[in-house]
Amino acid sequence: MPDLEDEAAQHTSALGPLIGLTREDIFGAVAVLLRETASDPARLMRHSQAMGSEMVKIMTGQSELAPHPKDRRFMDPAWQYNPFMRAGAQYYLAVQKGMAEWLDELELDELERDRARFISNIIIDSIAPTNTLAGNPTAQKRAIDSGGLSLIKGLKNAYTDMTENKGMVSQVDKRPFELGRNIATSPGAVVHRTEMFELVHYAPSTDKVHEVPALTIPPQINKMYINDLSPEKSVVKYLVDNGIQTFVISWKNPSPEQGSWDMADYVRSCREAMEVTAAITGSDKVNVSAGCSGGQTAAMLASKMAADGDNLLGALTLMVCVLHPKQNDIEAGSLISENGLALARRRADKAGVIKGDDLARGFAWLRPNDLIWNYVVNNYLLGEDPPAFDVLYWNADATNLSASLMGDFLTIYETLAFTKKGEVAMLDHKVDLSKVKSDLFILGGVTDHITPWRATYRSTQLFGSKDVTYVLSQSGHMQAILNPPTNPKAKYFVQKKKGKLPATAEKWIEGAEEVAGSWWPFWMEWLQARSGDLVDAPKEVGSKEYPASDPAPGLYVREAC
């Protein structure tokens, strides 16, 4: 079970250019494959003969095909010692190998080849023998050992998913979790509420606090309590325990009637949250941290404030966030097209919002081995419950995305707005990060498949900041952030010598050193140095002007899609 938890946690969903991916783009990639298949019958015949030769070797026991030693699907000893199972695995591997060799010979440009390879991998993964009871020796043994009870439990799990999870296999057992009881438990209260957001002020846990508060801007399609999952891996608890006055925005889950909420509205809300935070703490600066799509929002906020001569922003932390995307950053990026982006916009405008569960469903089918077939085997074939894992509970608790905000994210992606100094107009100003002078801390994750670390590193070259720090955490997307000092496997990379960062990620990694332990203490030292003097901690959260109301994590996080 820990393996499944760890694997799944690396592939939690997040907003990116995938929101512009449409079924037409996918069908188009399949059409290219079919077109090229028909264009050269001789080539098809040659590969068919090669495949036939391999099949003969398999039937006569002469094939040397073997699964990769790290392929967890074929770890059961039966794949090695049972001749029928070994032959079944080899048939699958022969198809996989034949498809790869065939794709290498197709007359495709680089983009078409990437599309074809991505789609073919999804198809090949779906026909793996391990996805069926007949082709999964581990499931067969479980059925025998349990007297068939595992199969009954698997059928029950499948029925529950059909009736209660819209036909998608469950990735998490939600039953053990309850907000405010064993998840999102840090004390605090909502101190400000609007139609779009709640501002949660967390209670200090030290006698002294730093003057300058910290405000967190979460992604718009995920709930804010990722910052406060459990006491062991709570960014909020770590902040307050180190004397940082901590505030977190909690976004309202938009309904179709609120589909007009756009980037300008969200940035205004962030600015309003900063004003309230400053008013409560009496500070003339507010440090801001943000991740994923919240980081894009924070960058737009910083650009707008710089253009307006607004000096309220202090230091800025951006975690696992891409501001300079490239189409080949992610595997599915090759499927995105201009036509697809336009279609995605029109469909979103018609619906008002993109439903959170639809976003999750689409994302899962782009990484089916990790986010679908793993759970089909675990939940249905083995009859196990999905893991009760807090990160996965949070990931399944998605929110809707307003059509207008989606359109703005697509505009940022299409125009590369953050990379053009004053060329792209948004939010009544020309976007220009070179005018942002705030000290900057940027985090990437080594195995992040959603916001690859080399893409996050490009952000270091966009700002006008003289003080830029880049840290590379050893894990994947959200696990890169949730990497507390209690994690014995934690490590990170940071530049050996202080000074200006190199222009490219490749140059940076050459001069980086590996540090054992969590990056949190390193960040905290950086943040405290930019958080002012120590003063007496307030006796309660909020203020007379902004009194405490509902306890943390507030009401908006409890709203389902």
Burial class of 184 by CB neighbour count within 10 A (0 to 12, 13 to 18, 19+): buried
Kindly tell me the sign of the dihedral angle through the C-alpha atoms of 459, 463, 465, 466.
positive
pLDDT at site 217: 97
Q: Strands 401-402 and 353-354, how do they pair?
A: antiparallel
Q: Is 554 within 8 Å of 190 (Cβ atoms)?
A: yes
Contact 316, 215 (CB under 8 A): no
Nearest to 462 by CA among 226, 302, 236: 302
- Residue 223 is classified by DSSP as -
Q: Which residues contact 39 (CB under 8 A, 6 or more apart)?
A: 107
CB hemisphere CA count around 429 (13 angstroms):
20
CA distance 234 to 311: 30
Alpha carbon 471 to its chain centroid, in Å, reads 18
Q: Is the peptide bond before 553 cis (omega within 30 degrees of 0)?
A: yes
Q: What is the token pair recorded at 40?
A: 């050269």
pLDDT score, position 17: 44
Which ranges in 258-337 belong to alpha helices (H)? 263-281, 293-307
Q: Which tokens belong to 267? A: 């940035």
φ/ψ of 286, rounded to 5, equals -135, 120
What integer pLDDT is reported at residue 19 of this predicted model?
54
pLDDT, position 414: 87
For residues 128 and 376, give the distance between their C-alpha atoms in angstroms, rounded to a whole number: 12
Report the predicted TM-score, pTM, of the whole model to 2 decimal places.
Answer: 0.88
Q: What pLDDT does 81 receive?
A: 92
Nearest by Cα to 480 from 513, 508, 452: 452
* Residue 292 known to be catalytic: yes
Q: Which is nearest to 249 in space by CA: 213, 220, 229, 278? A: 220
Q: Which of 270, 292, 321, 561 is catalytic?
A: 292
Q: What is the pLDDT of residue 120?
A: 83
Q: Who's near 68: CB < 8 A, 6+ residues apart?
A: none
DSSP structure class, residue 552:
T
Structure tokens that stand for 34 in this block = 């079919």
CA angle 477, 444, 115 (to 5 degrees): 65
Specify the pLDDT at position 476.
79
**pLDDT at residue number 205:** 97
Low-confidence ranges of the chain (pLDDT < 50): 1-2, 15, 17
Which helix or strand (DSSP H or E) is residue 42 part of?
helix 41-59
Contact 387, 5 (CB under 8 A): yes
Q: Are strands 286-291 and 353-354 parallel, antiparallel or unpaired?
A: unpaired
Q: Which contiguous run of DSSP H or E holds residue 83?
A: helix 83-105
Placement of tokens 């499948």 in the chain = 158
Lookup result for tokens 């899962």? 364
Give CA angle at 34 (26, 373), nearest 5°. 50
178 sits in the region (left: phi over 0; alpha: psi -120 to 50; else beta) called beta
Question: What pLDDT is attached to residue 359?
Answer: 76
Domain ranges of the chain: 188-325+416-558
Quick one: fold of 188-325+416-558?
Rossmann fold (3.40.50)
